[in-house]
Structure 1
Amino acid sequence: MEGTVDGFRYGVVTPVAAYVMACLGGALGLRCTVRSLLDTQSWKAGWLALGAAAIGCGIWTMHFIAMIGFQVEEARIRYDVSLTVLSLAVAIVVVGIGVFIVGYRGASPVALSAAGVVTGLGVAAMHYLGMAAMHLNGDVRYDPLVVALSVLIAIVAATAALWAAVTIRGFLTSLGASLIMGVAVSGMHYTGMAAVSVHLHGTGSGTWAGDSPHSLLLPMLLGPVVFLVLAGVVVMFDPLLVLGDGDWSRSARLGRATPPPPAEPPRSAFESTAGAVPGPRKPYETPPRTRRR
């Protein structure tokens, strides 16, 4: 028996909320990456790690907010806690690998391609690992072609996001890039969900172990959301993270200003006397007489 799959149980509420969280994570991650690249005095590894965590939490939060709106009308859905937590760890770690590659290697074609492929595959792994955490009285099947399309979208989206992180400097341009990134990540998710079909074992709800979406996902979403809010506070109160292109240039010029030459050390009395150059004699001075022999 084929189950009736519905990914929009609450209408547009869950897709819009998921998109907002994806954009928020992307925006924070991009600004933290820019901060590490443009200010050489900052702790680079720390800012890159914060950016990777923000992007990873944004993607994971987007996925499971969207999953709150997913249902199979003839079956009850449960979620495995360990796999759900593991999917969050995978999202942060794999995104971190890509961010650190471009953070230290730059946007060369080889580095950007490698980082984009690794990050895209990690995002896809997070998505399907989160789907594997879903238990119901039936078998979840996937269309291979649609799955391949979703993985391709994830790789392209990750590559574009990493490229934006190392090339875009201004605040407004980073904001626009995060909006596009949110569209790409949400598009990857719903493309992957379009590949899903459910074959039920029977008409009963089953006795699967696990927690319901509301009892598990809502409390688990609280932690990443709080982290994104705190990361947003860090961004807001760091003046370098809200500067525009012109302000960044002025800040860089001020940071590279030539320091005044160091003062010469004081000379000793002997050095000042021996190295002194005699100036012109004054009119009232008489030249010293030489003694004749």
Structure 2
Amino acid sequence: MGHLDHAALGWLTPVLSYVMACTGAALGLRCTVRALAATGRSRRNWLITAASAIATGIWTMHFVAMLGFGVSGTEIRYDVPLTIASLLVAMLVVCAGVFAVGYSRDRGRALLLGGLTTGLGVASMHYLGMAAVRLHGEVSYDPVLVGVSVLIAVVAATAALWAALNIKSPVAVTVASLIMGAAVTSMHYTGMFAVGVRVTPSSDPLSGATAMQFIFPLAVGLGSYLFITSAFVALSPTANEREASASAQRPVEPATS
């Protein structure tokens, strides 16, 4: 069996991937809170922003973590169409989960359905991303750890959607996103520890792109999208803040003695 290294670049990739997951979660929760306070087209736009933020955060987390993945005795390449497909899967299922919660009459059922859909989507994104890995040898999976990783994904997604529905204060959103980031990251590494590789040394060229040719630029691009969107969302006032600033600008009546 080839020796697997999950942090070939030291602490950089696990820490950076956790930051990405938290940023996506925080932005997604903040947008969902805005969506639930809005109606019509505005609600739909906030929900789409929320879904794209959560999906981008999770996907970037996965592939930033993958930058630190190495196997002794073989190079690693990534199948470009499958990697793109994993991003689209993440976007679609998170969108489905967020919309189920955003538009449902029955909150409890929406939460279960949304959490299950989103969790399974996150897990399928992870394993599609893993299917995109090209190396000299055979990849195998420990079914128990795969099951645990899927369970973590579903629980994390349900908890995140519950938080989006019930949490309003910025401090609580921050705490919820740190927990969600930890859950998504632990799901990723549980899924990674399920991997075993039987290396067959070969000098044949591998198909696909290297992490630095493809994954790195894409992760940087998506990461930039997350941070720019975060800035916009953080700076755009909520309805309550607009009312508060309007009332604060009204002249104060002088007190009469």
| TM-score over 0.5 (shorter chain) | yes
Q: Hey, what's the Cα distance between the residues in 2 that align with 1:208 and 1:58?
A: 29
Deviation at 1:171, TM superposition (A): 0.9
Check conservation: 1:87, 1:127, Cα contact below 8 A: yes
CA separation of 1:107 and 1:195: change in aligned 2, threshold 3 A: farther
One-letter amino acid of the structure 2 residue matched with residue 207 of structure 1: P
SS at 1:198's partner residue?
Answer: strand
Moved more, 228-237 or 24-33: 228-237
Aligned equivalent of 1:207: 205
Which segments of structure 1 move beyond 4 Å, counting only runs of 4 or more?
Answer: none
Aligned equivalent of 2:147: 148
Deviation at 1:31, TM superposition (A): 0.4
Equivalent residues in 2 for 1:45-60, closer than 5 Å: 45-60=44-59
Q: Hey, what's the Cα distance between the residues in 2 that align with 1:84 and 1:63?
A: 11
SS at 2:238's partner residue?
Answer: helix
Equivalent residues in 2 for 1:150-165, closer than 5 Å: 150-165=149-164
Aligned equivalent of 1:278: none
- Deviation per residue, 1:27-60 (Å, 9 max, x gap): 0000000001123477100000000000000000
Which runs of 5 or more residues in structure 1 are unaligned?
255-293
Alignment equivalent of 2:225, drawn from 209, 224, 227: 227
Aligned equivalent of 2:4: 5
SS at 1:210's partner residue?
Answer: coil
Q: Hey, what's the Cα distance between the residues in 1 that align with 2:160 and 2:132?
A: 27
Greater Rg by CA: 1
Aligned equivalent of 1:34: 33
Aligned equivalent of 1:258: none
Deviation at 1:223, TM superposition (A): 2.2
Q: Hey, what's the Cα distance between the residues in 1 that align with 2:53 and 2:72?
A: 34
Q: Hey, what's the Cα distance between the residues in 1 that align with 2:89 and 2:6?
A: 24
Q: Hey, what's the Cα distance between the residues in 1 that align with 2:71 and 2:190?
A: 17
Check conservation: 1:107, 1:166, Cα contact below 8 A: no
Count the aligned residue pairs: 245
Aligned equivalent of 2:62: 63
- Deviation per residue, 1:196-249 (Å, 9 max, x gap): 000122x234321111111111111122112112211221221118x7xxx69x
Which runs of 5 or more residues in structure 2 are unaligned?
248-257
CA separation of 1:154 and 1:171: change in aligned 2, threshold 3 A: same
SS at 1:169's partner residue?
Answer: coil
Q: Hey, what's the Cα distance between the residues in 1 that align with 2:189 and 2:105?
A: 31
CA separation of 1:106 and 1:189: change in aligned 2, threshold 3 A: farther
One-letter amino acid of the structure 1 residue matched with residue 217 of structure 2: P
- Deviation per residue, 1:168-201 (Å, 9 max, x gap): 0111111110000000000000000000000122
Aligned equivalent of 2:99: 100
Check conservation: 1:25, 1:59, Cα contact below 8 A: yes
Percent identity, please: 50
Q: Hey, what's the Cα distance between the residues in 2 that align with 1:85 and 1:187?
A: 23
One-letter amino acid of the structure 1 residue matched with residue 139 of structure 2: V
Q: Hey, what's the Cα distance between the residues in 2 that align with 1:12 and 1:178?
A: 21
Superposition TM-score, scaled by structure 2 size? 0.91
Check conservation: 1:106, 1:112, Cα contact below 8 A: no
Deviation at 1:107, TM superposition (A): 6.5
More helix by share: 2
One-letter amino acid of the structure 2 residue matched with residue 91 of structure 1: A
Root mean square deviation of aligned Cα: 1.8
Check conservation: 1:75, 1:136, Cα contact below 8 A: yes
